[in-house]
Structure 1
Amino acid sequence: MEGVAGAAQTGKAALYRRWASKADLVISALGATLPPPPTFPISAPCVRSCSSSWPGSAP
Structure 2
Amino acid sequence: MKYSEIQSLSSEELNEKIASEQEALRKLKFAHAISPIENPMKIKESRRNIAKLQTALRSKSGN
TM range (shorter): under 0.3
Q: Which has the larger radius of gyration?
A: 1
Greater length-normalized contact order (CA 8 Å, ≥ 6 residues apart)? 2
TM-score of the superposed pair, with normalisation by structure 1: 0.25
